[in-house]
Structure 1
Amino acid sequence: MNGTPSPHPQEVVRLDSVRKIYGGSRHHQVAALDGVSIGLHRGTFTAVMGPSGSGKSTFLHCAAGLDRPTSGSVQLDGVDLSPLKERELTQLRRERIGFIFQAFNLLPALSVLDNVTLPLRLAGRRPKKAAVNEVIERVGLADKRGSRPGELSGGQQQRVAIARALVTQPAVIFGDEPTGALDTYTAREVLTLLREAVQWGGQTIVMVTHDPVAASHADRVLFLADGRIVSHLDRPTADQVAERMTHLGAWGTESAAPAAQPGGWTHR
């Protein structure tokens, strides 16, 4: 699964002219993604925002190899996903991708330790005790190793999910509304953990969110409308993100959208 060497070696995720069409007949087709080209660099934190139906979830699913685009190409960690069979895609996701979901997706019968190490066991890798302990301590759950999810708060459960995503040392972590089920204070703690994973651990994170405060923790915010990237903000504040979202409806048409750079935006 080595694939062809990427012409963009600093980009851990690369989408080129990606379209995703849903619907069978020509008259009932919807373009969830409509020609998206973007490169996301290693060691960066990207938030993806947009109104309902803008294509945020489809963007994440295609970028993570959970869904195949109708046309265009996706490269992840230098591997072109297009020719991979399902088994190869599954292996790549296990080895190179971490996921954090709004609903935590922990196994209730397993302890914190077993939930965290589950991706390693599924990949046939023996967990290294020191590395696992370091990740669990980093997310602040050193005294909860033997607890089950039902004995933890929502914030603690999401910390388990973050540790589970970090433990395989993936090329990229995808977050789907990771703070959506948390109160404001707990959400801030979780976002700080993600920010630290990028800043100190060199992790790459791509997060779909509807929350301007959550997005303000990212290095860059991409704004989608009608399946296209119509704008972006670097080093955003929550107020800037909220203001941009307010005007986003007007950018849903091609004529009103700020011009994208050829080949899509890339990080600095």
Structure 2
Amino acid sequence: MNRTGPHGPDDVVVLSEVRRAYGTERARTVALDGVSVVFRRGTFTAVMGPSGSGKTTLLQCAAGLDRPTSGTVTLDGLDLSGLGERALTKLRRDRIGFIFQAFNLLPALTVEDNVTLPLRLAGRTPAHGAVAHALERVGLADRARHRPGELSGGQQQRVAIARALITDPAVIFGDEPTGALDTRTALEVLRLLRSAVRDGGQTAIVVTHDPVAASHADRVVFLADGLVVDELHGAGADTIAERMTHLGAWGDLPDAGSRSLKGAL
């Protein structure tokens, strides 16, 4: 595993001129069209854009779930393009936490067993007290022996957060993690993610369509037509929503491609 050198130690995820195309030459779809963006340690970033803008593809490439057609992705100092599938799987288990809209908990396992699953798949035993600490962080210390079907949707998502935190990952990726939750429960989950970033030093990257959810992030990165076209820092929900309504027009500007955040690299 070769480590890359141009970026600083706090640049946890770096996409450089990443392009991802699908299909044949005659029928080709370009999901990402030369995206360059940096996600730094201890930051919470929301990724937003209209349907088909490339949000999910960006997340998958950044997490090593999909390989770019061209360009490079560096995660925690490692160039993912040089890793085989076995090494990528190990990296995802050791250095990445995932939170999904559908929770993805195993119904036959207890809360405790769901949380420890990433470690067990990696052949590791949880450190003494690690599971209890993870569940305490998400407010579920008294639910370790329950099964997912005995929990509310918000509680199940908190189990998923504990599962994402148990390996002490460098990065937590979320794909619409509050999409299936009511507003109040979604806010609780977002506060937990903020806490993980603030107290644990993790980097959180979350795809969302919800301006309220995005307003809890330090930064919002906007995609349109496979390009990063803008970003906001510390913005409120109204400002984020207003920017979303103009993404189509913004993406049509002649210099849209030059706003791919190369200045952040």
TM-score by length of 1: 0.95
C-alpha distance 35-70 of structure 1, shift in aligned 2 (>3 A): same
Q: Which residue of 2 aligns with 1:222?
A: 221
Match of 2:233 in 1: 234
Q: CA deviation at 1:202?
A: 1.1
Shift of 1:261: 6.7
Question: 1:200 is paired with a residue of what secondary structure?
Answer: helix
Offset of 1:234 from its aligned partner? 0.5
- For structure 2, the residue ranges without an aligned partner over 5 or more in a row are none
Q: 1:94 maps to what in 2? A: 93
Contact 2:227/2:257 (8 A) holds in 1: no
Tell me, yes or no, if the aligned pair for 2:37 and 2:260 is still in contact at 8 Å: no
Preserved contact between residue 47 and residue 220 of structure 1 (Cα < 8 Å)? yes
**2:20 maps to amino acid:** K
Asked if the contact 2:119–2:126 (Cα under 8 Å) also holds between the matched residues in 1, the reply is: yes
CA distance in 2, matches of 1:172, 1:30: 28
Q: CA separation in 2, counterparts of 1:136 and 1:36?
A: 37
1:16 maps to amino acid: S
Deviation at 1:124, TM superposition (A): 1.3
Q: Separation in 2 of the partners of 1:73 and 1:5?
A: 10
Structure 2: distance between partners of 1:6 and 1:178: 33
Alignment pair present for 1:130 and 2:129: yes
Aligned residue in 2 for 1:64: 63
Question: Do the aligned residues in 1 keep the contact of 2:225 with 2:251 (CA within 8 Å)?
Answer: yes
Question: What is the Cα-based RMSD across aligned positions, in Å?
Answer: 1.3
What residue in structure 2 maps to residue 21 of structure 1? Answer: 21
C-alpha contact (below 8 Å) 1:64/1:93 kept by paired residues: yes
Shift of 1:258: 8.2
What's the offset of the Cα at 1:137? 0.5
- Quick one: which amino acid aligns to residue 17 of structure 1? E
Matched letter for residue 158 of structure 1? Q
3-state SS in 2 of match to 1:19: strand
Question: In the alignment, what sits opposite 1:114?
Answer: 113
Q: Give yes or no for contact 1:39–1:264 (8 Å, CA) kept in 2.
A: no
Deviates more, 1:159-168 or 1:122-131: 122-131
Q: CA deviation at 1:30?
A: 1.1
Distance in 1 of aligned mates of 2:175 and 2:33: 21
Per-residue Cα deviation, 1:74-107 (whole angstroms, up to 9, x for no partner): 0000000001111111011011000000000000
Worse-superposed segment, 245-254 or 221-230: 245-254
Q: Contact 2:4 / 2:79 at 8 angstroms: preserved in 1?
A: no
What TM-score results when the alignment is normalised by the length of structure 2? 0.96
Alignment of 1:79-228 (within 5 A): 79-228=78-227
1:27: Cα distance to partner? Answer: 2.8
- 3-state DSSP of counterpart to 2:250: helix
Q: Secondary structure at the match of 1:243?
A: helix
**Displacement after TM superposition at 1:128 (Å):** 1.4
Q: Distance in 1 between matches of 2:96 and 2:246?
A: 33
Structure 1 residue 250 corresponds to structure 2 residue 249:
yes
List runs of 5+ in structure 1 lacking aligned partners.
none
CA distance in 1, matches of 2:64, 2:262: 21
**1:189-219 CA distance string (max 9 Å, x none):** 0000001111122111000000000000000
SS of residue matched to 1:242:
helix
Cα distance between partner residues in 1 of 2:154 and 2:163: 14
**Comparing 246-255 with 157-166, which one deviates more in the overlay?**
246-255
